[in-house]
Amino acid sequence: MKVQHLYTDLARYYDFLVSRSVNTEIELQFLEKILSQNKVKSVLDVGCGSGRHSIPLAQKNYQVLGMDNSAELLELARSKAHSLNIQWIYGDAATATLPIKVDAAICMWSTINEMPIDAVAENLCKLIKPKGLLILDNSYIADHIRGKPKDTRFSIDVPEWGVVDVNIVDKVKSEQRTRSVSYKIGHNIINDDITSEVLSEDELESVMNAHGFTLSQIFYDYQSHKPESPRRFQTVFINNPLRKGHSKPDREQDHSA
C-alpha cells in the first residue's frame, strides 16, 4: 500500500489520531515566532494534511497555500477552513507548481521524511522566493541510529467508533526506517508499512545544500537548546538558489527561544 492510500483510509480518523500524538499549539507558537521574525506574509504548507497548521496561520492573516496529494485530507482541510481564504492545492510536492512564489514553506510532522527528499527540495527551491525560508520539522533519529526505536501502542475507547487500538512498530535498516502501522478502529482495520528516510542533522543539511538551501537555525523539541534525549529536530533553511551544491556555510545559531 502506498502512503497516500494510508492517508485516504485514515482521513476520517486523522484529527483524532493527531490529537493523541502531537501538540499543535506548541508547534504553532514555534512557527509564528519564526514567521513573524522574518516578516513572512505568504506560506506554503507542504503535505498540509487536514490543515492543522494552514488554518490557524490563515486565521492570523498569513496568505496560506496548503498542498497535499491526499484528496481526502485536502477535502477535510477545506471543510474546516469555512470562509478562510486558503488556496488548497492537490498535488505532489515533488512536481506541483504554484500561482505565486511564497515567502516561506513549512513541512511539519516529519512529512519531509516520507517524501522523495531530493525531488521535493529541488521543487521547493523553485516555489520559495530567493532568501525565503523553509521550515522542516523532522523526527529525531538518534534512537534509530542507536537501534532503539520506540514503538507506540495505545488503546482507547471512543464512543463514536468503539475501541481504537493503535500499534506502531519502527524497524530501521541503515538510513531507511520502515514504520509498520496498524489501526483497529471499531470494525475497521488499517495496516500499512511507511518507509521513510532517516537523516541525521548533518545528512539533512548536506542534501538541502545540494539544492540551494542554507541552514540558518536548528531547534530541538521546538526550543533551541538540545535536551539530553531530543525526540525531534526542526531546521530553518534559507533559499539561496545560486549557491546550489555549496558545502556547508557558517550557520547562525539561535539561543533566544
Ligand X SMILES: C[S@@+](CC[C@H](N)C(=O)[O-])C[C@H]1O[C@@H](n2cnc3c(N)ncnc32)[C@H](O)[C@@H]1O
- Contact positions vs ligand X (CB under 6 A): 3-4, 7, 18, 47-49, 52, 67-70, 73, 92-94, 108-109, 111, 114-115
Nearer to ligand X, 183 or 214 (CB): 183
Output phi, psi for 156, to 5 deg.
-145, 145
Min CB(242)–ligand X separation in Å = 26
**Minimum CB distance to ligand X smaller for 172 or for 194:** 194
Nearer to ligand X, 123 or 214 (CB): 123
How near is the Cβ of 49 to ligand X at its closest, in Å? 3
Least Å from the CB of residue 170 to ligand X: 14
Residue of 124, 52, 64 whose CA lies nearest to 93: 124
- Is 133:238 a contact under the CB 8 Å cutoff? yes
Exposure class string for 137-169: b at 16+ Cβ within 10 A, else e? bbbbbebbeeeebeeeeeeeeeeeeeebebebe
In this complex, which beta carbon is closest to ligand X, that of residue 46 or of residue 214? 46
In the bound complex, what is the minimum distance in angstroms from residue 194's beta carbon to ligand X? 9
Cell of 16: 483524532
In whole angstroms, the minimum distance from the beta carbon of 115 to ligand X comes to: 5
Query: Which amino acid makes up residue 114?
Result: E
Looking at the Cβ atoms of 40 and 214, the one nearer to ligand X is 40
Residue 46 near residue 69, CB atoms below 8 Å: no
